Structure 1
Amino acid sequence: MPRRLKLAALVASTVATALVLAGCAGGSSAESTSSAEADAGGPVTIEHAFGETTVPADPQRVVTLGWGSTDAAIALGTIPVAIPFDSYAGNSDGVLPWVADALDKAGVDTPTVLPESPDEPPYEAIAAADPDVILAVYSGITEEQYETLSQIAPTVAYPDQAWSTPWRDVVTTVGKALGKSAEAETVLADIDSQIAAAAAAHPEFKGKTIAAVVDSAGTFYVYKKEDPRVEFLLDLGFVNAPSVDELANGDSTFYYTLSYEQLDKLSSDVLVDYATTQDEADSFLTAPQTSVIPAVASGHVAQVVGTSNISAVSPPTALSLPWGLDSLVDALAAATAGTK
């Protein structure tokens, strides 16, 4: 299934087809930067799943991999020299719409877009970009790939599990790596104010149970509360449906598959369905296997339709969340109407 759909599950081929594509959390304990380092503007040491990386002060040539690091860097005023190709929701050049908008607003040219490379990072192209640092804060790189990348430039991996870094931690970690921790806090404060305003405008969200799912190519995926997209929904006032935890089978830290025979047990006040096309969205509501889901039967389904809309909130990033927030909130409001 697609990453924005499955992590949203991992990234275009690394996890399924595109990762359907997570919400919020405080800074990870797996990352570390001393205040003295930050205040002095010197090199910064960041801990992650593969050890620790010392990033030189004021890195100018930044290469980003995976999801969200590009957006965080741009939001912090640093334009990467090379960014990953996005085949799921990107344009013909592999650039995401909110990234293209931000670059246009900044009046800068599009950075080098790295060639699509499903199985491993495009090492030669990355080396050709001559980076000072490689940011793979929300990615699926393996330890072996990390070691190879580290021979090119200092590389910052994810703090714990692949494709599971809370979106806020992506912003703060990128901020630390770039010597812009204060700016990162400002970016997050601005986004938090937008989320808070949306939640305040929709008090009906508070306390309603919610589940987020994808039905893709005959496989039904349910996202756990650890998934960044679900964390974001909880930020808006919803609570994770107890049935999501009760039906979990240990497939993954952030999602699991559920047989069609069990869908009638997936109970929630509101259901969020991610669909790449309108036809898929329509089929979800009428298919025999999904029509038994309580929220589908009662008409309380919020559908996120289209690769760009899915990617914007699966999981959100420093640039995509403001870009996609209004349309998601409108869909959630419509789905919540009439719930008890």
Structure 2
Amino acid sequence: MPTSLHPRAADTPAGRTPEPRAAAGRMTRRGLLAGGIGAAALLGLAACGSSDDSAGSHSPGSGSAPRASSATSRRVSTLHGEVTVPAAPKRIVPFDFPEVCALLDLGIIPVGRTTYVPDFAAYSTALKGVPAIDEASSGNLAIEKIAALRPDLIIGDDWADPGKQRAPYATLQKIAPTAVFAWEQAAGNWPALAAQTAAAVGRTAELKALQATYADKAATTKSRYAALLAATRWDVIDCGKDSWDLYSANSSHGKVLAGAGLRLGAGASQSDGYKQYSLERLGMLSAAGAIITTPASLPFLRAQPLFTALPAVKAGRVYTTSLFFPASYGIATALLDEFATMCGTLQKGA
């Protein structure tokens, strides 16, 4: 029977889904990027590993055999204490999308996947033919589907607060060793989830290479546009029919952009990953020198006189990205590329 996992109501403002924590059908409104900008090379997906032991090798593109290990298991820290997992798992089932993305970044194709995964070309290609382990209409886990895949490792994330936890841990651990890591509002801790996933599957070295590429790109943007970034306050928002959301540096995308030198305006004093406001509060963005939003938000925003009257809007300094809520180094690195392009455009127009 399906086991309820999504949505996490405490993380989802009413009327709109501000982060990919709800069922896939509702998430399509966010329209995450349908394009990979060369991500396959970055992620190593040109020679992806498979977690299916029937594949005969861990990296079918290279023809190499599964990694040998002197130990048969390792201990990893999780929300439920230390858990013993296989040293070289071959049939991995992630039950939440951040772990799906992290595995793909590391060159591992799981034997099962969540219905919702950010619409990112490299990921979509790698996941072709991989069955979903949840119900497409609700996002609820289908325990029988997970069990049928005969996993040797199950990984995912959940709230640290036991009162909010939704993952059926007791049931999952009867199927296979299960490692559950802490989720934070607006996916602000995606780097920690990536690191924990890498540790659980023995791919920390590969993760370090991804981290280095990401850090170098952030540093390059921060240095190249230092004067512009010092002089400009940005705000990151999205909008629906009746309200809009303001994001802080503690959101997943806010963390990425702040690391590349973006300084927030109205969102600077906000500790929550996001806060929702009525449309009558759009004027609080008046000090922003530039605004980043989503393509799907623009029709709602353009219909609001308070938005069109903002200095940044009048100056043509509104930029869009579909890469809200990056949950992996692959998508976060693509977001850095887009932010660098925004900075270049803004600098030319200054």
Output the TM-score relative to the length of structure 2: 0.71
Would you say 1:275 and 2:305 are equivalent positions?
Answer: no
Residue identity in the other structure for 1:184: L
Would you say 1:259 and 2:278 are equivalent positions?
Answer: yes
CA gap of 1:57–1:138, structure 2 versus 1, over 3 A, is: same
In the TM superposition, what is the alpha-carbon distance from 1:171 to its structure 2 partner? 2.0
Q: Unaligned regions of 5+ residues in structure 1, if any?
A: 22-38, 91-95, 305-309
CA gap of 1:59–1:8, structure 2 versus 1, over 3 A, is: farther
Q: Structure 2 matches for 1:70-219, cutoff 5 A?
A: 70-86=100-116, 90=119, 96-101=120-125, 103=126, 110-114=129-133, 115-116=135-136, 118-137=138-157, 142-143=165-166, 145-159=168-182, 161=184, 164-207=187-230, 208-219=232-243
Distance 1:205 1:135 in 2: 42
Question: Could you tell me which residue of structure 1 aligns to residue 93 of structure 2?
Answer: 63
Question: Could you tell me which residue of structure 1 aligns to residue 54 of structure 2?
Answer: none
Residue identity in the other structure for 2:176: A
Contact 1:73–1:174 under 8 Å retained in 2? yes
CA gap of 1:338–1:40, structure 2 versus 1, over 3 A, is: farther
In the TM superposition, what is the alpha-carbon distance from 1:143 to its structure 2 partner? 4.3
Matched position secondary structure for 1:58 = coil
In the TM superposition, what is the alpha-carbon distance from 1:214 to its structure 2 partner? 0.6
Partner deviation per Cα, 1:178-205 (whole Å, 9 max, x = no partner)? 0111221112112222333333443345
**Larger RCO of the pair (alpha carbons < 8 Å, separation 6+):** 1
Contact 2:158–2:165 under 8 Å retained in 1? no
Distance 1:257 1:16 in 2: 18
Residue identity in the other structure for 1:111: V
Residue identity in the other structure for 2:207: A
Contact 1:100–1:110 under 8 Å retained in 2? no
Distance 2:28 2:165 in 1: 18
Output the TM-score relative to the length of structure 1: 0.73
Matched position secondary structure for 2:182 = coil
| Percentage of matched positions with identical amino acids | 19
Question: Could you tell me which residue of structure 2 aligns to residue 321 of structure 1?
Answer: 332
Contact 1:63–1:80 under 8 Å retained in 2? yes
Residue identity in the other structure for 2:317: H
Work out which of the two has the higher radius of gyration on C-alpha atoms and give 1 or 2.
2
In the TM superposition, what is the alpha-carbon distance from 1:163 to its structure 2 partner? 5.2
**Over the residues paired in the alignment, what is the CA RMSD in angstroms?**
3.6
Contact 1:158–1:165 under 8 Å retained in 2? no
Question: Could you tell me which residue of structure 2 aligns to residue 307 of structure 1?
Answer: none
Question: Could you tell me which residue of structure 2 aligns to residue 93 of structure 1?
Answer: none
Distance 2:173 2:29 in 1: 25
In the TM superposition, what is the alpha-carbon distance from 1:286 to its structure 2 partner? 5.2
Match of 1:220 among 235, 244, 265: 244
Contact 1:210–1:240 under 8 Å retained in 2? yes
Distance 2:22 2:347 in 1: 31
Contact 1:213–1:223 under 8 Å retained in 2? yes
Contact 1:6–1:255 under 8 Å retained in 2? no
Match of 1:234 among 258, 267, 270: 258
Contact 1:159–1:165 under 8 Å retained in 2? no
Distance 2:282 2:228 in 1: 23
CA gap of 1:294–1:124, structure 2 versus 1, over 3 A, is: farther
CA gap of 1:41–1:166, structure 2 versus 1, over 3 A, is: farther
Distance 1:6 1:194 in 2: 32
Matched position secondary structure for 1:191 = helix
In the TM superposition, what is the alpha-carbon distance from 1:65 to its structure 2 partner? 2.5
Distance 1:123 1:79 in 2: 20
In the TM superposition, what is the alpha-carbon distance from 1:324 to its structure 2 partner? 4.9
Q: Structure 2 matches for 1:39-58, cutoff 5 A?
A: 43-58=73-88
Q: Which moved more, 1:222-231 or 1:291-300?
A: 291-300
In the TM superposition, what is the alpha-carbon distance from 1:262 to its structure 2 partner? 2.0
Partner deviation per Cα, 1:244-297 (whole Å, 9 max, x = no partner)? 255x5x8xx311111222221223222111123xxx525524531422444224
Contact 2:186–2:273 under 8 Å retained in 1? no
Question: Could you tell me which residue of structure 2 aligns to residue 12 of structure 1?
Answer: 22
Q: Unaligned regions of 5+ residues in structure 2, if any?
A: 1-6, 33-68
